[in-house]
């Protein structure tokens, strides 16, 4: 929790005032049994009605003041807890945004979602309960025991026996339940992961008629989560009956001894009622305290999970001091190897080539050959394991990330759009772009026609993930977004897979005629998409097995020839 305490600093006043007003409320609650005792022993015993009404008035005043104190404490506790949760969630989101691809892969998106939502909510709830009840309940219990001795020493001895037994039951159950809740949260991560995976791939599941299998897989994970949750619930459910059993046993002992002593005149009726009230207060407060501690323990488990995210080194700091060298290449790979965390075999090995400004490089290879990994090294989404990648003569590890990535525009494999408008999505490429620049980018990306047909044009709405556009339209909008940046390096990672050949051909022509003449990397599974590139890099099992023009590779690269023949000679594509 030490890393999380700073988020409470802006609410120091609230964190002090909330328990203070709760303690005031507790003091008024502790005085009530004494006033009731006086009403019985003095007012009723002497049939003094004015005294009875005066004491009832005091009780009413205590109730009003206690209510005001309780509401004030609730307000300050809620303000501190919600403010803490807001600040923590914002910092957690900022931290996750700073993660490199590698750190995100290692943590897992599903786990990060759970920690941003469920875990933060549990911590927020734990802080609220801590400020309101964690101090109040012990004060009530301790105060009730002390005041019980002021009422009657012999009668209060029952408390000396009952309180340790109650504490033993409460903390035994907590010690058993605490580690189990950690398992519950891990099971929740798995359920969240399956839910996200199923919702993301809903169309694929329906296309392959895998609804029943996916439902069964989710049910298995959900049942595991339910079993763990039920086990924790059953343990916490033992709290109330066991505490009630012990307290009621104490009440029986108190009433038995009290009845005998009242009969003999050694104890007043009001004293018995006061002791009974104190025992009832102790019962209620111990149950509250147990539930509070259980909630706080849950919050502590969640806090540790959140802390691991906050402690993960974010970002990719400058790790090289290499200065820019004069070179005629804009991008160069020098004996580059790359191995993903947790993988035994490298995804890339021995990649060595250089690219001149304005060149168009096609990259092709079988699935899993390392095409996306290769281009992800240019904007430093991942770091190389061996060798170096240089941009404009400078090792990417020596660049400030913001400066490096401002030179590069990337269109990823998955066309990702955000809810808003066409304009708001395109302005991601360049916030200061004019409408003319946006339309130029749309025209080059072959998207101007369907955007112009939309009601509102540039201000046409875009649903979450661009669901109100077709796959090909989404791809063209993401290409337009990249073109708005007018970057020196443009990376198209299989970003035209949903386009027909005529549209893709028009797109290639438009890219060649861009006024800024960027260096372009085009990843594709289709030789038709890259055959007109200045050079083509062929990858196989993470190694470069060919580099040259389309004609050169047909003559001297068997892998490229095989891909080409499979697409052209078997009716797969047309030239």
The pLDDT tens digits of the residues spanning 438-455 come to 999 999 999 999 999 989
Q: What is the DSSP letter of 345?
A: S
Find out whether 273 and 33 touch, Cβ atoms under 8 Å: yes
pLDDT score recorded for residue 355: 94
pLDDT at 573 over 60: no
Nearest CA among 238, 225, 231 for reference residue 291 = 238
Euclidean distance between CA atoms 281 and 31, whole angstroms: 12
Find out whether 547 and 353 touch, Cβ atoms under 8 Å: yes
pLDDT score recorded for residue 571: 47
pLDDT at 494 over 90: no
pLDDT at 45 over 90: no
Find out whether 91 and 7 touch, Cβ atoms under 8 Å: yes
Percent of the chain's residues with pLDDT above 70: 98
Average pLDDT in the chain: 86
Residues in the chain: 575
Euclidean distance between CA atoms 565 and 479, whole angstroms: 29
Instruction: Point out the least confidently predicted range of 248-252, 374-378, 456-460, 463-467.
Output: 248-252
pLDDT score recorded for residue 200: 76
pLDDT score recorded for residue 356: 93
| Cβ-based burial of 64 (10 A; exposed 0-12, middle 13-18, buried ≥19) | exposed
Instruction: Point out the least confidently predicted range of 66-70, 72-76, 511-515, 565-569.
Output: 565-569
Euclidean distance between CA atoms 7 and 80, whole angstroms: 10
pLDDT at 393 over 60: yes
Check residues 17 and 1 and name the one with the higher pLDDT.
Answer: 17
Find out whether 431 and 439 touch, Cβ atoms under 8 Å: no
pLDDT score recorded for residue 574: 44
- Beta bridge partners, 520, equal 360, 490
What is the location of CATH 3.40.50.300 in the chain?
410-488
Check residues 110 and 518 and name the one with the higher pLDDT.
Answer: 518
pLDDT digits (tens, 9 = 90+) for 347-375: 999 999 999 999 999 999 888 888 999 99
What is the location of CATH 1.20.1560.10 in the chain?
9-311
pTM of the model: 0.71
Euclidean distance between CA atoms 15 and 81, whole angstroms: 9
Euclidean distance between CA atoms 363 and 553, whole angstroms: 12
The fourth-level CATH superfamily of domain 9-311 is ABC transporter type 1, transmembrane domain (1.20.1560.10)
pLDDT at 11 over 50: yes
Check residues 305 and 120 and name the one with the higher pLDDT.
Answer: 120
Q: Determine the average pLDDT of the residues in 46-50.
A: 85
pLDDT score recorded for residue 1: 65
pLDDT at 333 over 90: yes
* CATH level 3 topology of 410-488: Rossmann fold (3.40.50)
């Amino acid at each position: 929790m030490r890393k999380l305490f700073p988020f409470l600093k802006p609410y120091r006043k609230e964190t002090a005032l909330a328990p203070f007003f709760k303690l005031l409320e507790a003091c008024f609650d502790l005085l009530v049994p004494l006033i009731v005792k006086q009403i019985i022993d003095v007012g009723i015993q002497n049939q003094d009605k004015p005294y009875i009404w005066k004491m009832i008035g005091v009780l009413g005043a205590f109730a009003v003041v206690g209510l005001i104190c309780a509401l004030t404490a609730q307000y300050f506790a809620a303000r501190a807890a919600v403010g803490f949760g807001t600040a923590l969630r914002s910092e957690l989101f900022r931290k996750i945004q700073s993660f490199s691809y590698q750190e995100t892969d290692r943590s897992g998106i599903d786990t990060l979602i759970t920690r941003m939502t469920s875990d933060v909510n549990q911590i927020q709830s734990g802080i609220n309960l801590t400020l309101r009840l964690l101090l109040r309940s012990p004060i009530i219990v301790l105060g009730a025991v002390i005041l019980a001795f002021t009422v009657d020493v012999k009668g209060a001895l029952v408390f000396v026996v009952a309180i340790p037994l109650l504490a033993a039951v409460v903390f035994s159950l907590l010690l058993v339940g605490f580690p189990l809740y950690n398992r519950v949260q891990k099971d929740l991560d798995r359920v969240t992961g399956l839910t996200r995976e199923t919702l993301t791939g809903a169309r694929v599941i329906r296309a392959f008629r895998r609804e029943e299998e996916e439902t069964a897989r989710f049910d298995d994970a959900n049942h595991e989560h339910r079993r763990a949750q039920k086990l924790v619930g059953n343990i916490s459910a033992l709290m109330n009956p066991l505490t009630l059993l012990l307290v009621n046993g104490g009440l029986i002992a108190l009433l038995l001894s009290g009845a005998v002593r009242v009969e003999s005149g050694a104890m007043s009726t009001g004293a018995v009622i006061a002791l009974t009230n104190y025992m009832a207060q102790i019962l209620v407060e111990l149950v509250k305290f147990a539930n509070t501690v259980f909630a706080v323990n849950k919050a502590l488990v969640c806090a540790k999970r959140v802390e691991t995210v906050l402690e993960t080194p974010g970002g990719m700091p400058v790790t090289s001091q290499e200065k820019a060298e004069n070179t005629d290449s804009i991008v160069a790979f020098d004996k580059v190897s790359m191995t993903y965390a947790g993988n035994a075999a490298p995804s890339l090995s021995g990649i060595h080539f250089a690219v001149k400004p304005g060149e168009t490089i096609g990259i092709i290879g079988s699935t899993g050959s390392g095409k996306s990994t290769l281009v992800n090294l240019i904007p430093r989404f991942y770091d190389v394991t061996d060798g170096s990648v240089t941009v404009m003569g400078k090792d990417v590890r020596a660049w400030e990330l913001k400066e490096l990535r401002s030179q590069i525009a990337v269109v990823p494999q998955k066309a990702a759009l955000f809810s808003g408008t066409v304009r708001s999505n395109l302005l991601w490429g360049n916030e200061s772009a004019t409408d003319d620049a946006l339309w130029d980018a749309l025209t080059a990306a072959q998207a101007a026609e369907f955007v112009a047909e939309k009601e509102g044009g540039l201000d046409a709405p875009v649903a979450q993930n661009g669901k109100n556009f077709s796959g090909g339209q989404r791809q063209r909008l993401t290409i337009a977004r990249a073109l708005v940046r007018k970057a020196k390096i443009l990376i198209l990672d299989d970003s035209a897979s949903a386009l027909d050949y005529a549209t893709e051909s028009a797109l290639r022509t438009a890219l060649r005629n861009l006024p800024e003449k960027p260096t372009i990397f085009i990843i594709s599974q289709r030789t038709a998409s890259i055959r007109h590139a200045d050079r083509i890099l062929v990858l196989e099992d993470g190694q470069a097995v060919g580099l040259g023009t389309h004609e050169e590779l047909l003559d001297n690269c068997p892998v490229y020839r095989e891909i080409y023949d499979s697409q052209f000679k078997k009716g797969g594509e047309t030239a």
